[in-house]
Amino acid sequence: MRVAPDVFADPQALGRQAAELVADGLERSRLAGRPYLLGCPGGRSAATTYAALAQLVGRRRLDLGHLVVVMMDDYLVPGPGGHLEHEDDSAPHSCIRFGREEVVAPLNRAAGRGRGMPPDQLWVPDPAHPDRYDDALAAAGGVDLFLLASGAGDGHVAFNAPGSPAGSRTRVVSLPDSTRRDNLATFPTFGGRLDAVPGHGVTVGIDTIVRHSASVLMLVSGPDKGRAAARLCAATGYDPAWPATVFAACARPRLFLDDAARRAAAAVTAPVG
């Protein structure tokens, strides 16, 4: 079954509505006395959502002590012993840095003293034991809301590239050039050089997203996301050729487009499939 998109005038309007969903969920989980797990992508797609959420946290005076931010992936580089390890967390493209500085820090500033999120509630998959991430999500009761984004050129979601199997769990992966090219636009600090983008990552899997999410929200904005928007609007389930279609296989999926992505999708003339 296809998911009818909600269309917004611009990325800011899209982000405000997405943030309302998160804030409402935070309040419900607080009243229920349970943690609220929010699955978070790095990069551009959810930037307006994170900014709007920080504003809502301040306006509603939300307590974030029960919030768990579940990062979806991170770049990996060879360590001293040759084993792959997290990118330096001071690097602009580090997902640990992104989660800490661009998601958690603004939320905690908005919440104020004594109402912020504890540091150990920023979760990132461990490349040494990636399978434990799925186990931790299951033990916590699952992810209340996974915010998702689609690669513009190849439809990757997190670091799940085209061909990712439906049963995949959190794992270490090699990043194809198609995904690495998409990330040149996400992180201008790569200087447009493909060889500057790490070749490996650790990522949640397709099954991780489907199995452990209570709800998902796919965020698509900008004129460069026309092909992605067209594929996602047509999705009736998971298509390994465009991994972001996983959202349509999840419980309670929603699809948010801004008007620029909608118009770009309408201009896509190649058949979807």
Tens of pLDDT, residues 169-213:
999 999 999 999 988 888 888 999 999 999 999 999 999 999 999
41 pLDDT above the threshold of 90: yes
CA-based R_g, the chain, Å: 18
Residue 59, Cβ density class (10 Å: 0-12 exposed, 13-18 middle, ≥19 buried): exposed
Domain residue limits, the chain: 5-265
**Is 5-265 assigned to CATH 3.40.50.1360?**
yes
Q: What is the predicted pLDDT for the residue at 52?
A: 98
Strand arrangement of the beta sheet that strand 145-148 belongs to: 6-8, 253-258, 216-220, 145-148, 36-40, 67-71, 122-123
Task: Give the confidence band of 268 by pLDDT, cuts at 50, 70, 90.
Answer: confident
pLDDT at position 273 is 47
Q: Which pLDDT belongs to residue 81?
A: 83
pLDDT at 60: 97
- How far, in Å, CA of 12 to CA of 52, rounded? 8
- Distances in Å between the Cα of 39 and the Cα atoms of 115, 146, 193, 241, 247 are 20, 4, 29, 23, 13
The overall average pLDDT reported for the chain is 95
pTM for the model: 0.95
**188: closest CA among 45, 47, 92?**
92
Task: Report the alpha-carbon distance of residue 63 to residue 115 in Å, rounded.
Answer: 5
State the average pLDDT over residues 34-63: 97
Given pLDDT bands bounded at 50, 70 and 90, which one contains residue 24?
A: very high
Terminal Cα-to-Cα distance of the chain (whole angstroms): 15
